[in-house]
Chains A and B, each alone.
Chain A
Amino acid sequence: MTSFLATGPSLGGSRVGAWLAGLSLRSRILLISAEVVVMLALWQLVVGVFRWINPVFVPAPLSIFSGLGDILSSGAVAANAPASLQAWVVGFGLALVIAIPLGLLLGVSLPVDRIVGPIAWAIYATPSVAYQPLAKAWFGFGIGPVVFLVLVSAVFPIMFNLAAGIRTTNTSIISAAKVYGASKFRLYPAIYLPSTVPFLFAGLRQGVVLATIGMMVAELSGAAVGMGALIIRSTNTYQVGQAFAAIMLVVIFTISMVQVTTLVERWVAPWTRGAGK
């Protein structure tokens, strides 16, 4: 079927691909773990043992792990993570509240797309770093600028994906709906909305990643608390292991949120699950 739901190139093409695609969940976890262990071992050798790279720039894995132990036990994570989490959640929540209705409107209405679209793209195309000084001027030094940067970073990918989903709704599905009696009004809940769901979730995944980037940009430029502040402080005191450990926590958080988004998608939109077995 030539629908928008068609999956991309399958992994099962080559022999290695077929082997990878056929792995059970347990084997896949084992494989990824093995990969990580090998990578860490090489890294430890290169930096920790042979010292080919100065550990002040890139710390060895073991010093990152001890750094992780330090920031966990010293209470640095407990002191900084909640502020970041709060800003992230509030900013992302606001992004959802703004992006979903605007995205729908943008997708549905050509005039809105023509008027609001260019402005929105212009803001989206501006690197979020550029808003940082403004955000500080507008929102002071607390959580405000961080929330703002999370919001600005996440809102557009969600909005534009949603709008694109509506505009690319399969035309023969629309014809079918009309043939079987859908009024123009019923087309929205019955056809446009469900067919845009996979696009919405693609946008959400991008939004999650960009939200974290926005958060880091705001926190790295002089926030008093937050994971970004912790990273800056650790680096300034040459505790690069701790800085990398803090970065690692942020990455783990972001990947987890992407996974949560995918889980929600599977629950909300079970029809997208698995390639056409």
Chain B
Amino acid sequence: MTTETAQRRASTAPLISARGVTVKFDVARTGKQMIALSNIDLDVMEGECVTVLGPSGCGKTTFMNVVAGLVKPTSGSVFIDGDEVSGPGPDRAVVFQDYALLPWRTVFDNVRFGLEMQKKLSDGDWRDRVQNAIDMVGLSGFESSYPRELSGGMQQRVGLARAFVAEPRILLMDEPLGAVDALTREVMRDEIGKLIAQTGKTVLFITHSIEEAILLGDRIVVFKSKPGEIKEIITTGIEGMGSERNAQNDERFHELREHLWSVLANEAAAASK
């Protein structure tokens, strides 16, 4: 998969291209502006999985929201396949940290939400597509459950199915496993890795877990805070999207982990000053 990606990367223009993205928020309390993101440049190639790592509050979610079309940058732009983003679109799907499921809808109806809003329910096979997505994330049998009847991990599986069924070119994941318990988190991390590899989607995966960033990412973008900027971009160079157990013996994995630890520790120290 990595060699394939590398070939595609060499032959095509970036699918996602952020140019000078700056976001400022008005702070009502002080009447001043705070700079959440400053001058972000980033290219993501088709089929690539880029993980974004950084301390909390450094602007990761804001960046993803800009790419998703939910937040308009104060200056700069994001281009998808060369077209400037002006709002959300069917080429991008988002998996939210807090799942953002509709509590009044069953699993099945949550997953079909995207098709419904994009008026694709007239497609003859939509039921099969929804069912396939549910099966793919391992939720067969829970079609008529309500979100509150499911564990956090299972709710996020619904979030994943909802994203995949919309058949976007780009998957934006904002700490999708951030609210999931530790054990489920590792299991689902590996499953997400496999799904990404199988479907060949272009992925922007935000996390504050170093392991997730290394194991899922073709490249890792490290953010720093105050203001939110890119500190460095690292190509992982780890073959395949294996589980940590396989990668544990990998020297590169350890090297990366140590490096990222020290970078983030410095960042955290700087941020708390």
Contacts and interface: CB of A to CB of B under 8 A. Distances in A.
Interface stretch (A34-42, A117-125, A169-177, A238-246): A169-177
B104 A175 contact: no
B147 A1 contact: yes
Contact of B149 (A2, A269, A277): A277
Interface stretch (A82-90, A189-197, A213-221): A189-197
B236 to A, nearest CB: 28
Interface string A1-22: 1110100000000000000000
B240 to A, nearest CB: 30
Nearest to B120: A181
A179 interface: yes
Interface stretch (B94-102, B124-132, B249-257): B94-102
Interface string B106-130: 0000000110011000000000000
Interface residues of B, number: 31
A179 B152 contact: no
A180 interface: yes
Given A175-B70, A175-B96, A271-B148, A180 B166 contact: yes
Interface stretch (B39-47, B85-93, B202-210): B85-93
A2 B98 contact: yes
Interface in A94-110: none
Interface string B188-199: 000000000000
A269 B104 contact: yes
Interface string B149-177: 10010010000001000100000000000
Interface residues of A, number: 27
A274 B101 CA distance: 18
Contact of A194 (B102, B149, B152): B102
Given A181-B88, A182-B117, A271-B104, A1 B98 contact: yes
B96 A177 contact: no
Contact of A181 (B100, B118, B149, B152): B118
Given A176-B94, A276-B149, A195 B104 contact: yes
Contacts of B149: 276-277
Interface of B: 65, 68-70, 87-88, 90, 92-94, 96, 98-105, 113-114, 117-118, 146-149, 152, 155, 162, 166
Given A175-B94, A271-B148, 18 more contacts: A1-B98, A1-B103, A1-B147, A1-B148, A3-B103, A5-B103, A170-B100, A175-B68, A177-B102, A178-B88, A179-B88, A179-B92, A180-B88, A180-B162, A186-B117, A269-B104, A270-B146, A271-B147
Interface of A: 1-3, 5, 170, 172-173, 175-183, 186, 190-191, 194-195, 197, 269-271, 276-277
15 contacts: A1-B98, A1-B99, A1-B147, A1-B148, A1-B152, A175-B100, A177-B117, A178-B87, A179-B94, A180-B162, A181-B90, A197-B104, A271-B103, A276-B148, A277-B149
